[in-house]
Amino acid sequence: MEAPRPFRTAIVPAAGMGTRFLPTTKTVPKELLPVVDTPGIEMVAAEAAEAGADRLLIVTSPGKDAIAAHFAPRPELEATLIARGKDALAAKVRRANELIEVATVTQDEPKGLGHAVGCAGDALAADEEAVAVLLPDDLVLPPPGESGVLARMAAVRAHYGGSVLCAFDVPREQISAYGVFDVQDTDDPDVKIVRDMVEKPPADEAPSTLATAGRYLLDRQIFDALKRIIPGSGGELQLTDAVALLIAEGHPVHVVVHHGGRHDLGNPAGYVRAYVDFALAHPEYGPQLHEWLARRLSWTGGGRVRGA
């Protein structure tokens, strides 16, 4: 018998203000910024589709309509490109709307990630017992030749029930920049029981070196927990507070330690790294960029290289 599918819907919260990318985010949603030529949110949509989701539920906000538009068909543009013999570009235009069915819900005010996820609760069907949440500014890349982390997380939920989160092992000297898991071992070195989560602890007080990443497989009890937590710093409802409440009430929460790559697209420094990393791997742009960067890095004059 086929194993039941762990989730059908993937929630993608994309209603934040993107303040770290101002002034660009005055008009351009952070989630549409390109990594070489493809918006981060399209890459995350592909990950959700690959993991078996058949619906992306994007949480947007007033003024960020361009996100939904990115996933809508553009038949005139496609026809123009095809008429000009640019079939490969037409396929790129089509990709976002062919990947997965997309629906949107609106978060009227940016009241935090927890609140954004809560806005999606009523859009789930009554028989959806669990839901995936993927943060579109977090690229979680599988190790070469392996499937994405959500497949592993689904297997952990099938075994233990409850909710499953994703972690990266980071050097202790960097841990204070992250949310950190307090964990207990299981027989599998890459699966831990979560006892608690601590936001940005000093390195010597961090309960582990396992940092939270933007992938969640949540039991639908999370929506009830989100209604019962109170706003934290900045008046925002935190998703981690709702998970912590479930843990306190005995709900099983596990974490999968992911060994693939990760890029944080949510701030300019991480975004630039991601862009360069993907550009270096690009068959057309990579070799020249590599050569240019090598020259640029050996140049000790400061400022900008003049000419290409």
Q: Which residues bind ligand UTP (CB under 6 A)?
A: 13-20, 30-31, 59, 107, 110-113, 115-116, 135-137, 266
Residues in a beta bridge with 198 = 180
Quickly count: other Cβ atoms within 10 Å of residue 105's Cβ.
17
Shortest approach of ligand UTP to residue 122 CB, angstroms?
16
Structure-token pair, residue 79: 């026809």
Query: Whole-angstrom Cα distance, residue 28 to residue 16?
Result: 12
DSSP string covering 280-291, please? HT-TTTHHHHHH
Shortest approach of ligand UTP to residue 269 CB, angstroms?
12
Shortest approach of ligand UTP to residue 261 CB, angstroms?
19
Nearer to ligand UTP, 14 or 229 (CB): 14
SS3 state of residue 100: coil
Of 142, 67, 58, 74, the closest CA to residue 106 belongs to 58
Shortest approach of ligand UTP to residue 80 CB, angstroms?
32
Nearer to ligand UTP, 13 or 162 (CB): 13
- E-strand spans in the chain? 9-13, 34-35, 38-39, 55-60, 101-106, 130-134, 138-141, 163-169, 179-185, 191-199, 210-219, 253-257, 261-264
Nearer to ligand UTP, 56 or 113 (CB): 113
Measure CA of the first residue to CA of the last residue in the chain; give whole Å: 59
Nearer to ligand UTP, 135 or 279 (CB): 135
Shortest approach of ligand UTP to residue 24 CB, angstroms?
11
Nearer to ligand UTP, 164 or 213 (CB): 213
Of 223, 174, 219, the closest CA to residue 201 belongs to 174
Shortest approach of ligand UTP to residue 135 CB, angstroms?
5
Nearer to ligand UTP, 190 or 236 (CB): 236
